[in-house]
Amino acid sequence: MHQAQFARGLKSARAWLAGAALGLGVIFAACYPGDLTSITQTDVVATRHDSTADFSQPTYFLPDTVVQLYEDSTGSIPLSHEFDDLIISTIVTNMTNRGYTRVTDTTAAELPDYVLFVTSIGIESTFYVYSPGWCSGWGGWGGWGWWGGCWGGYWPPQVGSGTYETGTVYIDMIPGTLDTSVEPPQFTIQWTAAFRGLLGTQQSVTASRITGMINQAYAQSPYVTRN
């Protein structure tokens, strides 16, 4: 008798908790109705500039290499170099469109007006998820059961983890000469562009995203121009 009461009580508590979990899920979805539907939506482009800097000079130097920042201790991961040429060529196209001339002779007597450095870093991050296990067992308990089973949840609630990888590319633009008005003499970064997104597996999509983000960096930096 007591066992039957206990079983009924447990069933009732479970149903109540499952209902509460479902309610919380619905409320959370109602609070934050947006949803990422494609990897492109994870792409972010940030640019920062020195508003006192002079962007009107004609020449710049850009190494052919994308330098990768990689340290085991920071959770960084090695990135493929297959897109380095695309990154460099897209930057050159944008600089040309803005009226700048690339110089490649590093032995020339006259220094370029600007130097652009391109660096990249890959990061692996860990995330945690909580599944409330809603509706699991409702049908099995002979309760409402009208969903005809479960949406894939489990009882008791599950906690899981996973990882995702992001890649970030930085473009730094500095003057070609040291600023000797300060002690010690130093370079001042005139413009920085950083773009980041989830690492994908489709080469054509990744190439399109890289091109798009570099173009966006220039589009939102109209002051980087000689025109």
For the bound state, the minimum distance from the C-beta of residue 220 to another protein, rounded and expressed in Å, comes to 5
Stretch that binds another protein, among 13-21, 88-96, 102-110, 194-202 (CB under 8 A): 194-202
Site string for another protein, 19-48 (x = CB under 8 A): -----------xxxxx-x---xxxxxxxxx
Helix (H) / strand (E) containing 9: helix 2-31
Chain positions 154 to 183 lying near another protein, rule: CB under 8 A, are 164, 166
Structure tokens at 6: 């206990």
For the bound state, the minimum distance from the C-beta of residue 110 to another protein, rounded and expressed in Å, comes to 30
Chain positions 88 to 117 lying near another protein, rule: CB under 8 A, are none
**# chain residues binding another protein, by CB under 8 A:** 26
Q: In this structure, is the dihedral angle defined by the CA atoms of residues 194, 195, 197 and 201, taken in order, positive or negative?
A: negative
For the bound state, the minimum distance from the C-beta of residue 172 to another protein, rounded and expressed in Å, comes to 15
For the bound state, the minimum distance from the C-beta of residue 199 to another protein, rounded and expressed in Å, comes to 12
In three-state secondary structure terms, 121 is strand
Q: From the CA atom positions of the chain, what is the Rg in Å? A: 27
Q: Decide if residue 51 touches another protein (CB under 8 A).
A: yes
- Scored b (16 or more CB within 10 A) or e, 83-118 reads bbebbbebbeebbeebebeebeeeeeeeebbbbbbb
List of residues contacting another protein (CB under 8 A):
30-34, 36, 40-51, 164, 166, 196-198, 216, 220-221
